[in-house]
Amino acid sequence: MKIHTRFSIKPIGLDNCSTIDFTKYSYVIKFHSATGEQSILHTENENVFSKDGHSLLHFFEYSKSSKIPLARCDIYCSGKITDRNIYINSFPNDNLSNSWTIFNKKFSKGETTSNSNYDKICNISNHRIFIDSQYPVGNPLDPFEKSKIERQLKARLTKPTPALSQIDYIYHPYPHQGESSLCGPATFFYALLKDNPRIYSQYIKDLWNSGKAMLGSIEVKPSQGCCHPTKYSKPSGKTRTPAIDWISMASLRDTFNDDGYYSPDDKVRGITMSDDIANWANAVGGKVIYNSGISYTSSWNQDLVTWLNNYISSDYHVAVLINDGLLSDTWSWNITPTHWIMWTGKLISEKTKKPVDKSTSSDTLVDLELFSWGEVRLMNQYRKMAPTLSEFCKSIYGAVIFKKIP
């Protein structure tokens, strides 16, 4: 069996003496399953409309025993947009009837109309902002395709996190740096997602739609290189950082960098200072009450480390800079600060489960609940053997404490 579809478009309010060359508008057709999560069955290449606003005729073969697939159309404009409103007309199976509705239009705000010939009004905007050069618009493996971003965002906002299909490449309930060095932004966005998911969600939507967003008092506007990342996906199509995390975290890092941030391979450019986390927290209303700065040559003493326990409560976030060897069994004396985490529980004695303090013996084995790598876990779940309090302190290099984000 085959489903056929074609479209025509026309502007609103155009007088009879005026004409528009519609070849500046392009579109991508996707055929979706009509059941379940409506997964993408097939994506056509990007095409342009004819001068008078007609698409090509598209078709997709499907099993006679399955439901007729859904067709969705994403529309783009390659130049300056002067035709703010256009009608979309659809013809399923090449039948000039008007019984079918186009939906999921890129950058569109559709509203139903009573017009007998054209069923939707669509506001058109510029071409999509985030594009993977390896798997661009129209490729089935396109990681920034709208429905994938929507599913990822829905999963992040749903607790407990639902199971996701592998095609989305998102396996963790919280922001995840993947193969990048974006642990600093991940730690900050963990706090934002927990405290104000509405701001978190709108920030990502605004970046995807327009390439810029307000994060509290900060305008985040990623560069072209960040929006078109290099070496972002593996040959299999798996992303090296989840798409919504690249949009949110890489955009923030790129905005604050003098020389941009374009790839998960940019390890140095992905580094975050304590002042950055403090600035981001203050910008969204999370008042900073302590910023230690970063010590590159010496770690913290026991009194200072155990002092952080005082701020583990529902009122504060405690972001801590460590050596990532603390989350593995590779700890050594030759260590440096490498990784941001968020303390989500107090530092405790592994044996008694009671919080440690400055009177606790330095050889006491310790444990800690923390956020890192997209999830909240106990530190010793990453290790075969618990560290002593003394060893733990040698892995701490800085902290930022800020109030919960309103």
Q: What is the pLDDT of residues 274-290, one digit of tens each?
A: 999 999 999 999 999 99
Amino acid at 309: N
Whether residue 184 is found in the same domain as residue 261: yes
In whole angstroms, what is the distance from residue 212 CA to residue 189 CA?
A: 17
**Within a domain: residue 182?**
yes
Q: Average pLDDT of the chain?
A: 83
Q: Work out how many domains the chain is built from and give that number.
A: 3
Q: Is residue 129 part of a domain?
A: no
Is pLDDT at 226 greater than 70 in this prediction?
Answer: yes
- Beta pairing, strands 111-112 & 213-215: unpaired
**Is the peptide bond prior to 160 cis by the omega test (within 30 degrees of 0)?**
yes
Q: Which of 272, 302, 323 is the last residue of a domain?
A: 272
Shared domain for 94 and 164, answered yes or no, is: no
- Under a CB-based contact definition with an 8 Å cutoff, are residues 12 and 85 in contact? yes
pLDDT over 90 (residue 401): yes
- Here the CATH number for the domain that contains residue 397 is 3.90.70
- Residue 107's contacts (CB-CB under 8 Å, 6 or more residues apart) are 123, 124, 125, 126, 128, 209
* Lowest-confidence segment of 94-108, 170-184, 363-377 by average pLDDT: 94-108
258 and 322 co-located in one domain: no
Structural domain includes residue 141 = no
For residues 405 and 396, give the distance between their C-alpha atoms in angstroms, rounded to a whole number.
25
Nearest by Cα to 253 from 182, 338, 199, 191: 182
Q: Which of 123, 138, 162 is the last residue of a domain?
A: 123
Residue 102 has pLDDT above 60, yes or no: no
Give the separation between CA 192 and CA 284, rounded to whole angstroms: 8
Is residue 227 located within the same domain as residue 177? Answer: yes
The answer to whether the CB of 38 falls within 8 A of the CB of 126 is: no
Domain housing 263:
146-272
102, 120 contact by CB (below 8 A): yes
* Rounded mean pLDDT, 356-367: 94
Distance between CA atoms of residues 310 and 372, nearest Å: 21
- The 3-state DSSP class for residue 190 equals helix
Supply 165's token pair.
Answer: 């299909």
Task: Flag whether 378 is in a domain.
Answer: yes
Task: Tell which of 64, 89, 123 closes a domain.
Answer: 123
Looking at residue 122, what is its pLDDT? Answer: 54
Residue 406 CB neighbour total at 10 angstroms: 10
Q: What's the CA gap between 372 and 24, in Å, rounded?
A: 45
Q: Quick check: 138 pLDDT over 50?
A: yes
Assess whether 69 and 91 both reside in one domain: yes
- Contact present, 379 and 327 (Cβ < 8 Å): yes
Residue 132 domain flag: no
Answer whether residue 134 is part of any domain: no
259 lies in the same domain as 209: yes
Residue 323, pLDDT > 60, answer yes
Q: Taking residues 80-86, report their average pLDDT.
A: 58
Mean pLDDT score, 19-24: 76
Judgement on whether residues 249 and 286 belong to the same structural domain of the protein? no
| DSSP single-letter state for residue 250 | I
The model's pTM: 0.74
pLDDT of amino acid 91: 58
Beta bridge partners of 275: none
- Give the percent of the chain with pLDDT over 90: 48
For residues 257 and 308, membership in a common domain is answered with: no
Average pLDDT over residues 321-347: 85
Residues 197 and 253 in one domain: yes
Instruction: Assign residue 275 a region (left: φ > 0; alpha: ψ between -120 and 50; beta: otherwise).
Output: alpha
115 confidence band (pLDDT: 50, 70, 90): very low
Strands 47-48 and 396-403 come out as unpaired
Residue 131 lies in a domain: no
**200 shares a domain with 169:** yes
Q: Are residues 250 and 303 in the same domain?
A: no
What value does the mean pLDDT take over residues 335-361?
93
Phi, psi of 201 (to 5 degrees): -65, -45
Residue 309 in domain: yes
Statement: residue 219 has pLDDT above 90: yes
Query: What pLDDT, on the 0 to 100 scale, is given for residue 291?
Result: 96
Q: How confident is the model at residue 92 (pLDDT cuts 50, 70, 90)?
A: low
- Asked whether residue 367 falls in the same domain as residue 291, the answer is yes
pLDDT greater at residue 154 or residue 4: 154
Element (H, E) at 146: helix 146-157
